[in-house]
Structure 1
Amino acid sequence: MAFRWLGKSEDGATVTLHRLEGCPVQTPFYATPSWLELNADIVRTGVVLDTETTGLNHVEDAIIEIGLRQFLFNRQTGEILALSKAYSSFQDPGRPIPAEITELTGITDDMVAGKNIEWPVVDALLEEASIIIAHNARFDRPFIDKKSAVSREKIWGCSIKQIDWRAQGFTSSKLELLNVYHGFFTDSHRAINDVDALLYLLSLPQADDDKSYLHELLNNAKKSQTHVIATSAPFETKDQLKGRGYSWDNTNKFWNKVINKETLQDEIKWLEETVYFGAFRGLTREIALSDNFKS
């Protein structure tokens, strides 16, 4: 699909961007309070969540801000039906915020001083959700799992990994750029702003039909995943593995990636032909849906 930029003028000479105010999700006309009550069997609750942290290491770094918002969705169509409860809070990490984090987020030591996230409130919102969504769940989930026993048992979805943005005509999956390509902007790298931007984005229709982006994410979140570990891969095949999407585990010294279980046989065939030049010598491990994106 050709590159898309929804805010571009017809002649391609200008781009118009609108500031996102609140979270104006696109909801279907039928989603009235009475319909929601009568069709409770197909209505589910989701949560979109975002964190700002002191760094990238979930073991050593700490959350300094959290934002999350519940929403109702139609489990059959993937349509967002209504917004629900929200929560946001700063968290004092107990040490100075690195200068580069303050520069990125605008969050200062004074803003977080003495502030604490109410984790029972977070847990109550997560408990009601059938799925928790983050834009890069592999980053956010380990930070949340450290603090929330509820999170550890939930299914998480990732709007980077479980939506094929390139197939939709976008060259980047960064939230800031996706926002701009869809004709709006917000104050990025603040938790609740990014939550509302992502939730609005997920409510928008895809290019080739009227299904929402959330519909694609939900379908992929239901698919079983398999962890493929290319043990004993010859050093000279590292470029092929990297190009295929494998990442190097420096602790265990192997190349690995997570794929949909339905594509496992094709993946093994590729490894046999491109990496092992013979029988597959690696390992595979099925991942429970509730374990997706865990550390």
Structure 2
Amino acid sequence: MTLNERDQKIKTLLESLVASDAGLKLVRETLGGSGFGLLRQVEHMTFPEVTDPERLARARHGVVMDTETTGVDTTKDKVIQLAMLRFTYDDEGIIALGEGFDRFRDPGFPIPAEITAITRITDDDVRGKTISDAEVAAFLEGCDLVICHNAGFDRKMVEREFPQAGFGQLRFDCSFAQINWLVRGNNGRSLESLALKAGMIYGSHNALNDILATAFVLNTPNETHGRPFVEMYRRGSEAAILLIAKDSPFERKDDLKANGYSWSPDGLDAAGNTKSWYKTLRDDPAVLDAEAEFLRTQIYRRDVALPCYRIAGDERYSARRPQRQETFRTAEVRSVRDVLEQQVAYTTPQTSFSF
């Protein structure tokens, strides 16, 4: 047997092995025993097919979406690439992947060099190219869910850049924020690290590759915690409250941050409340009682009344101000005096911080 014949036999055997789950497992175990690992290229993977007629009968439609932009300022930067991938799903996970949408868009000015370095998108790639609201709306027709790995950024960008496309009427879920990746054994939440942990690699920082990788990561089985998609979708279905720790004492900022609050200098993430700490809570009595205790004992050191908003899926992660403001009280109101005593007394505005 010649060397070429031997190599061809080895290649044929490997191709046969990696074509099945059992064979792939065997290759991984063999390589692992010798100190090597095996990673799959997402762009060459086939998404598992669901044939269960009951699941197919209740399937709904959504898109995985990602943008590449000229910067990270959602109030002024421009979308230079918009990628979407249609899929069908139910509450058990993604059933199948469908049609894709991948378009470049000329921002009207030179792309910053640092953005080209990250995305590899050049001025020549986008020159003269446009994306109309109408074609985006047509692609979204029939969908009720949009998934992004950073929905807090991507939703604001597309709602501002494509105001007539219909994004404002859709539920957004975030594969970055709505899944407890740490419990699942992931030290980081970047898409690259999540894919690597799942045994996959892909051409990152390209919107089309990113959304394909997101779909595969969300579909990764986990014997203990189930598929990540199911956790994300369940958490996105829960009623949520956006709580604003308005006029909180400056010296308590580290306590707020440690308890999951984020700082909004411009109010975009805090329903228009500038220079405020905010947090999204599950609308559950036990969760709200615990938060009231934290605010009363560790932050304000007395009972207070704070602005809050009930957030639906079509408002989550949007820069649009929620339609109705309510009041979060750390103590039950029994009289007018109780209302007055719970008013926040701090009037000195906080300044912007760098964290």
1:93 aligns with 2:107: yes
1:159 alignment partner in structure 2: 175
1:172 aligns with 2:194: no
Q: Give the conservation status (yes or no) of the 8 Å contact 1:134–1:157.
A: yes
Give the whole-Å Cα distance in 2 for the aligned partners of 1:283 and 1:55.
31
Residue of structure 2 aligned with 1:64, choices 80, 96, 117: 80
2:47 alignment partner in structure 1: 25
1:3 alignment partner in structure 2: none
RMSD: 2.0
Unaligned runs of 5+ in 1: 1-6
Q: Give the conservation status (yes or no) of the 8 Å contact 2:62–2:144.
A: yes
Q: Give the conservation status (yes or no) of the 8 Å contact 1:230–1:281.
A: no
Q: Give the conservation status (yes or no) of the 8 Å contact 1:227–1:257.
A: yes
Q: Give the conservation status (yes or no) of the 8 Å contact 2:195–2:217.
A: yes
Residue type at the aligned position of 2:292 = I
Quickly say closer, same or farther: Cα 1:229–1:96, change in 2 above 3 A.
Answer: same
Q: Deviations over 1:131-167 (max 9, x none)?
A: 1000010000011112143101110000011111111
1:55 aligns with 2:77: no
Give the TM-score normalised by the residue count of structure 2. Answer: 0.74
Shift of 1:22: 4.6
Quickly say closer, same or farther: Cα 1:12–1:216, change in 2 above 3 A.
Answer: farther
Give the whole-Å Cα distance in 2 for the aligned partners of 1:121 and 1:168.
38
Quickly say closer, same or farther: Cα 1:180–1:135, change in 2 above 3 A.
Answer: same
Residue of structure 1 aligned with 2:245, choices 230, 233, 241: 230
1:83 aligns with 2:97: yes
1:255 aligns with 2:296: no
Residue of structure 1 aligned with 2:232, choices 217, 222, 236: 217
Give the TM-score normalised by the residue count of structure 1. Answer: 0.89
1:44 alignment partner in structure 2: 60
2:148 alignment partner in structure 1: 134
1:271 alignment partner in structure 2: 295
Q: Which has the higher contact order (CA 8 A, sep 6+)?
A: 1
Give the whole-Å Cα distance in 2 for the aligned partners of 1:166 and 1:207.
15
- Number of aligned residue pairs: 280
What percent of counterpart residues are identical?
33
